[in-house]
């Protein structure tokens, strides 16, 4: 069952309510609060219904349900203890194309009522689509704690100022930015203190002094794949962005949390297939920021670890564009943790070295002597294509051919796979490994057998 969420305006609209017991009372109350004109069908009215009737707040249609009652109402609620009658009401409503909810009977409902966090005019609705109301209520409790009570007051003031703010900031991006800044400013404190007049004065002052924002670039590390490893800053940045430049290493799960109406531009590159050259990416970052956009450059792992983040920041600095860096969980940390391989261990690895198997200038030789030292963990990024040279050189410079190794593919993602073996087997393991893949060389790789916990054969 897949429900379409919507909020209905019941103000002044007629609603048929069948039943006048305790459950019906609760329904009548919330319907009246929404401004509905409640018409009750019931043999007898409870004292509460009687007083509502006396106050003229409800209409009583008597005890006999007639299908014609449905013609004039917007929707119907059946809350009688007569199952057959409830079903009759539902079927008659269906025949007339009217919404009907038979209380606590999922298969006799064309609409359902969610659990609500009410900070009017802000309302947050939570529904499990009828599958697990208790779980929906649990979430409601959690959200209740997260949403400050004065949110409603802020929304109410904003509603009154919407037209004036729109007139003062015709550009839609600038306007969104104005509101975002306002809601995080002293305006929020004043609203929380209940001082509506002062909050409004603050809004007016900020609007009068408002300068359309300057563009900026945020270099954001997206982590190795699992969206749960995004930082809070990363999440906020991708949700505030006007435009997001992302590369092939950024997982679909992470792209799904990017603000829906942000422009998303792939500058994906993997060794061998450069979709957009680095110079072109640099040029676009500058161009969009100069146009006043909030630009996010979203990169796999950490932007400053083999991510060319340093080069991009240099370009931005030279162009005078403000930028921020949001670090991310780099593959050497994320993929090894999810593979159950500690990077250091007091028994066998006092240091860890992150190296790339792929350098900008061909022919550049790493310092093999340092890389081959024992008691350290070597983590090789972008190295699977050069695995045979790497294994050969490390052995030549003294690392034992029996040193444990692991090749971790798609680390932290549901399809993560890990292959383990000895240094002398590294070329064979790397050749088989799906990409992206990270090679880990050192005694710690053997600990995976004992420590593996995530996915596959764990
Ligand atoms: N800035 C990134 C690294 C980019 S270089 C970071 O900090 O992680 C790309 C290399 O990173 C890949 O060739 C691979 O070696 C490694 N890598 C990135 N994500 C990975 C993942 N989920 N699993 C395994 N290796 C990964």
Of 57-71, 85-99, 134-148, the range with the lowest mean pLDDT is: 134-148
The number of beta carbons lying within 10 Å of the beta carbon of residue 390 is: 25
Choice from 249, 311, 333, 406 to test ligand 1 binding pocket (greatest atom count within 8 A of CB):
249
Question: Would you state the pLDDT for residue 233?
Answer: 87
Q: Which atom of ligand 1 is nearest to the CA of 412?
A: 22
382 is in an annotated binding site: yes
Question: Would you state the pLDDT for residue 360?
Answer: 66
Say if residues 117 and 105 touch (Cβ distance below 8 Å): no
Distance of CA 57 to the CA centre of its chain: 43
CA of 399 to the centre of ligand 1 (A): 24
Say if residues 109 and 103 touch (Cβ distance below 8 Å): no
Say if residues 117 and 140 touch (Cβ distance below 8 Å): yes
- Does the structure show a pLDDT above 50 at 315? yes
Closest C-alpha among 82, 109, 100 to residue 19: 82
Question: Would you state the pLDDT for residue 148?
Answer: 86
Q: Coil, strand, or helix at residue 154?
A: helix
Of all residues in the chain, the percent with pLDDT exceeding 70 is: 96
Q: Which atom of ligand 1 is nearest to the CA of 331?
A: 8
301 is in an annotated binding site: yes
Closest C-alpha among 28, 48, 32 to residue 40: 28
Helix axes 151-168, 172-183, angle to 10 degrees: 150
How many Å apart are CA 300 and CA 264, to the nearest integer? Answer: 15
CA of 451 to the centre of ligand 1 (A): 22
From 98, 226, 247, 299, active-site residue: 247
Q: Which atom of ligand 1 is nearest to the CA of 299?
A: 1
∠ CA 384-389-393, nearest 5°, is 130
From 269, 393, 425, 452, active-site residue: 269
Reading phi first (left if > 0) and then psi (alpha if -120 to 50, else beta), residue 97 is in left
Of all residues in the chain, the percent with pLDDT exceeding 90 is: 79
pLDDT 10s digits, 335-392: 999 999 999 999 999 999 999 988 766 677 889 999 999 999 999 999 999 999 999 9
Mean pLDDT of 318-343: 97
Ligand 1 atom 5: residue of nearest CA:
306
Strand partners, 421: 405
The pTM for the full model equals 0.71
Say if residues 92 and 66 touch (Cβ distance below 8 Å): no
- Does the structure show a pLDDT above 90 at 449? yes
Say if residues 100 and 108 touch (Cβ distance below 8 Å): yes
255 is in an annotated binding site: no
How many Å apart are CA 299 and CA 223, to the nearest integer? Answer: 8
302 is in an annotated binding site: yes
CA of 241 to the centre of ligand 1 (A): 24
* Tokens, residue 356: 């790339």
Q: Coil, strand, or helix at residue 457?
A: coil
Closest C-alpha among 236, 408, 229, 235 to residue 328: 229
- Does the structure show a pLDDT above 50 at 458? no
Choice from 269, 331, 441 to test ligand 1 binding pocket (greatest atom count within 8 A of CB):
331
Q: Is 247 a catalytic residue?
A: yes
Question: Would you state the pLDDT for residue 106?
Answer: 87
Binding pocket residue ranges, ligand 1, CB within 6 Å: 224-225, 249, 299-302, 305-307, 330-331, 335, 381-382, 408, 410-412, 436-438
- Residue 213 or residue 275, greater confidence: 213
Say if residues 249 and 299 touch (Cβ distance below 8 Å): yes
Closest C-alpha among 209, 205, 237, 203 to residue 221: 237
Closest C-alpha among 305, 257, 306, 300 to residue 412: 300
- The HSE-up count of residue 41 (CA atoms within 13 Å, CB side) is 23
Q: Which atom of ligand 1 is nearest to the CA of 329?
A: 7
Secondary element (H or E) of residue 1: none
**End-to-end alpha-carbon separation of the chain, Å?**
34
Backbone angles phi, psi at 275, to 5 degrees: -70, -50
How many Å apart are CA 103 and CA 454, to the nearest integer? Answer: 43
How many Å apart are CA 178 and CA 182, to the nearest integer? Answer: 6
Ligand 1 atom 24: residue of nearest CA:
437
- Residue 425 or residue 249, greater confidence: 425
- Residue 31 or residue 291, greater confidence: 31
pLDDT 10s digits, 385-415: 999 999 999 999 999 999 999 999 999 999 9
How many Å apart are CA 190 and CA 184, to the nearest integer? Answer: 11
Mean pLDDT of 276-298: 91
Q: Which atom of ligand 1 is nearest to the CA of 309?
A: 1
- Does the structure show a pLDDT above 80 at 212? no
330 is in an annotated binding site: yes
Q: Coil, strand, or helix at residue 253?
A: helix
pLDDT 10s digits, 9-50: 999 999 999 999 999 999 999 999 999 999 999 999 999 999
* Tokens, residue 347: 């028994």
* Tokens, residue 89: 């009401």
- Residue 260 or residue 427, greater confidence: 427
How many Å apart are CA 151 and CA 124, to the nearest integer? Answer: 11
CA of 417 to the centre of ligand 1 (A): 14
Q: Is 81 a catalytic residue?
A: no
Q: Which atom of ligand 1 is nearest to the CA of 332?
A: 8
How many helices (H) and strands (E) are present in the chain, helices listed first?
Answer: 17, 19
CA of 226 to the centre of ligand 1 (A): 13
Residue 429 CA: distances (Å) to CA of 42, 246, 339, 379, 391: 75, 29, 16, 15, 11
Choice from 234, 268, 301, 440 to test ligand 1 binding pocket (greatest atom count within 8 A of CB):
301
The mean predicted confidence, pLDDT, of the chain is 92
Helix axes 278-290, 309-319, angle to 10 degrees: 40
Residue 287's pLDDT band (cuts 50, 70, 90): very high
CA of 134 to the centre of ligand 1 (A): 41
Question: Would you state the pLDDT for residue 172?
Answer: 87
Ligand 1 atom 11: residue of nearest CA:
381
How many Å apart are CA 163 and CA 390, to the nearest integer? Answer: 65
Closest C-alpha among 201, 173, 382, 407 to residue 294: 173
Choice from 221, 223, 224, 426 to test ligand 1 binding pocket (greatest atom count within 8 A of CB):
224
Say if residues 445 and 405 touch (Cβ distance below 8 Å): yes
């Amino acid at each position: 069952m897949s429900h379409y969420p919507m909020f209905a305006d019941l103000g002044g609209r007629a609603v048929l309510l069948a039943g006048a017991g305790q459950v019906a009372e609760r329904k009548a109350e919330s319907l009246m609060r929404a401004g509905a004109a409640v018409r009750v069908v019931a043999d007898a009215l409870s004292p509460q219904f009687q007083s509502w009737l006396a106050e003229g707040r409800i209409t009583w249609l008597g005890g006999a349900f007639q299908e014609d009652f449905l013609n004039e109402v917007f929707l119907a609620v059946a809350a009688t203890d007569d199952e057959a009658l409830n079903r009759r009401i539902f079927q008659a409503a269906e025949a007339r194309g009217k919404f009907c909810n038979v209380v606590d009977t999922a298969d006799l409902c064309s609409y359902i009522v969610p659990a609500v966090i009410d900070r009017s005019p802000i309302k947050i609705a939570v529904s499990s689509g009828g599958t697990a109301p208790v779980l929906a209520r649990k979430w409601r409790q959690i959200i209740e704690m997260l949403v400050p009570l004065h949110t409603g007051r802020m929304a109410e003031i904003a509603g009154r100022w919407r037209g004036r703010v729109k007139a003062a900031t015709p550009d839609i991006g600038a306007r969104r930015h104005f509101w975002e800044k306002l809601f995080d400013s002293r305006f929020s404190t004043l609203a929380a203190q209940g001082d509506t007049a002062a909050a409004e004065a603050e809004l007016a002052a900020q609007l009068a002094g408002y300068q359309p924002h300057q563009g900026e670039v945020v270099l954001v590390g997206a982590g190795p794949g699992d969206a749960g490893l995004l930082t809070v800053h990363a999440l906020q940045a991708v949700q505030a962005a006007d435009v997001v430049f992302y590369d092939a290493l950024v997982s679909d799960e992470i792209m799904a949390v990017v603000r829906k109406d942000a422009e998303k531009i792939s500058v994906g590159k993997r060794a061998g297939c450069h979709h957009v050259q680095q110079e072109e990416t640099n040029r676009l970052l500058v161009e969009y920021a100069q146009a006043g956009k909030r630009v996010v450059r979203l990169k796999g792992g950490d932007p400053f670890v083999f991510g060319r983040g340093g080069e991009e920041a240099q370009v931005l600095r030279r162009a005078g564009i403000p930028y921020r860096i949001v670090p991310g969980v780099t593959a050497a940390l994320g993929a090894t943790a999810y593979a159950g391989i500690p990077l250091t261990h007091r028994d066998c690895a006092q240091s860890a070295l992150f190296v790339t198997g792929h350098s900008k200038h061909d022919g550049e030789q790493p310092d093999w002597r340092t890389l081959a030292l024992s008691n350290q963990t070597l983590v090789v990024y972008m190295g699977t294509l050069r695995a045979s040279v790497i294994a050969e050189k490390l052995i030549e410079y003294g690392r034992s051919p029996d040193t444990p190794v692991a090749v971790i593919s798609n680390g932290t993602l549901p399809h993560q796979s890990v292959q383990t073996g000895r240094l002398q087997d590294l070329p064979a393991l790397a050749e088989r490994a799906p990409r992206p893949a990270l090679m880990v060389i050192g005694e710690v790789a053997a600990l995976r057998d004992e420590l593996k916990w995530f996915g596959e054969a764990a």
